[in-house]
């Protein structure tokens, strides 16, 4: 299989989630955006169909699908509702450090409930002074007998306030370490929910840890393993954000194509005007180019295994995330333009897609950081 083609199995998965998204999720998209609340019904829906744990190991209750399959699932959900795609994207993101670095015992304790959707998980890395500069984490975890005491603050945490489990990164004596923190742990508190421009159905919150005692058995891997777990997580999670951006762009193109063939001006559909046709041609080409990079990056995750960071995989993931999210912003903006005044109206969906697209250029590493990652790899790590 080339990196740019889907096998019959992948095509079947894509077709199945496409039907479900179009029939069950698309009708909820506008309401989810207006309510700005976590869509528990979508969690239930994707859990029932096995999509919530699609990329998690079968041994721990997941479907055991590869990342390319998972990316097609994310793409088709984001095509109709970016907030709903966050339900599966963040569930995978929170679970990845456990899958990558956790012990068998830790995986047995937590992954089955995450893979079934019984419990929601979040990924807590970003802090007020540590966004792109991950190594500047201030949250600390001090060893105290058979526990660690966490103190610090996190921000911009997706699923904050709705998650049952949080994968939390903190400085320890031997470097950055990661822990699973359960929501009812004394000393852990969810702060304010942020009011956002887009993906409003995905809650984003501050987290506070004050003398928060976490059992040592909840550490993911060994002390000091957190940095590598975070970096290897990004290699696998960035293609899913790229798939999300791809889906948003495809959804905007879908809406634009439908509109320009129905809307008439000067006695004929506006699709007949050359200026409109040129815009559509550019949009479609950009979406297809993004799809190639996304599928290629996901396929590389499937094919490459490494004990540490793999530069080839890192570059492919960063390229896909950077390009697909830039395309999402460009295509959704053009879709709003093609719809004219209607494009600015909520019920026509493309203004929501434009708002949703912007965050894909920011989270999971800003696109400026992705360009630095790509350049560093091109220059041999210099």
Residues annotated as catalytic (active site), given as ranges: 364
The sign of the dihedral angle between the CA atoms of 192, 198, 203, 206 is negative
**Separation CA 29–CA 187 (nearest Å):** 36
Return the residue matching tokens 């904050």: 160
What are the residues whose beta carbons fall under 8 Å from the beta carbon of 31, sequence distance 6 or more? none
Contact 339, 255 (CB under 8 A): yes
Choose among 122, 120, 123, 124: nearest CA to 47: 120
Contact 78, 243 (CB under 8 A): yes
Element housing 121 (H / E)? strand 121-124
**Separation CA 78–CA 34 (nearest Å):** 17
- What are the CA-CA distances from residue 119 to residues 40, 87, 110 (Å)? 11, 12, 9
């Amino acid at each position: 299989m080339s990196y740019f083609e889907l096998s019959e199995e992948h095509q079947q998965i894509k077709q199945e989630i496409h039907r479900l998204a179009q029939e069950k999720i698309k009708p909820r998209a506008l309401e989810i955006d207006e309510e700005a609340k976590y869509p528990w019904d979508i969690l239930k829906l994707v859990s029932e169909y096995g999509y919530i744990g699609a990329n998690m190991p079968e041994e721990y209750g997941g479907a055991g699908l590869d990342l390319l399959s998972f990316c097609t699932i994310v793409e088709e959900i984001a095509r109709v509702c970016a907030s709903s795609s966050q339900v599966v994207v963040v569930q995978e993101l929170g679970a990845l450090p456990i899958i990558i670095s956790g012990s068998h015992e830790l995986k047995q304790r937590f992954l089955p409930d995450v893979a079934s959707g019984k419990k929601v998980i979040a990924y807590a890395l970003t802090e007020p002074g540590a966004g792109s500069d991950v190594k500047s984490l201030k949250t600390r975890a001090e060893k105290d007998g058979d526990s660690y005491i966490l103190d610090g603050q996190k921000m911009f945490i997706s699923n904050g306030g709705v998650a049952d489990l949080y994968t939390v990164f903190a400085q320890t004596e031997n470097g950055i370490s990661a822990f699973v923190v359960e929501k009812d742990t004394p000393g852990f508190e969810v702060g304010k929910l942020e009011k956002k421009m887009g993906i409003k159905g995905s809650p984003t919150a501050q987290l506070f840890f004050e003398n928060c005692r976490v059992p040592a058995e909840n550490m993911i891997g060994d002390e000091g393993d957190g940095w590598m777990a975070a970096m290897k997580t990004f290699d696998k999670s960035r293609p899913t954000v790229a798939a999300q951006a791809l889906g948003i762009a495809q959804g905007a193109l879908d809406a634009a194509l439908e509109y320009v063939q129905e809307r008439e001006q000067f006695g004929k559909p506006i699709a007949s005007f050359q200026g409109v046709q040129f815009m559509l041609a550019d949009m479609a080409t950009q979406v297809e180019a993004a799809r190639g990079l996304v599928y290629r990056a996901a396929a590389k995750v499937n094919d490459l295994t490494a004990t540490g960071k793999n530069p080839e995989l890192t570059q492919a993931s960063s390229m896909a995330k950077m390009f697909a999210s830039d395309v999402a912003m460009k295509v959704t903006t053009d879709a709003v333009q093609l719809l004219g005044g209607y494009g600015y109206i909520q019920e026509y969906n493309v203004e929501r897609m434009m708002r949703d697209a912007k965050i894909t250029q920011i989270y999971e590493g800003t696109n400026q950081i992705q360009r630095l990652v790509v350049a560093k790899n091109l220059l041999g790590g210099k």
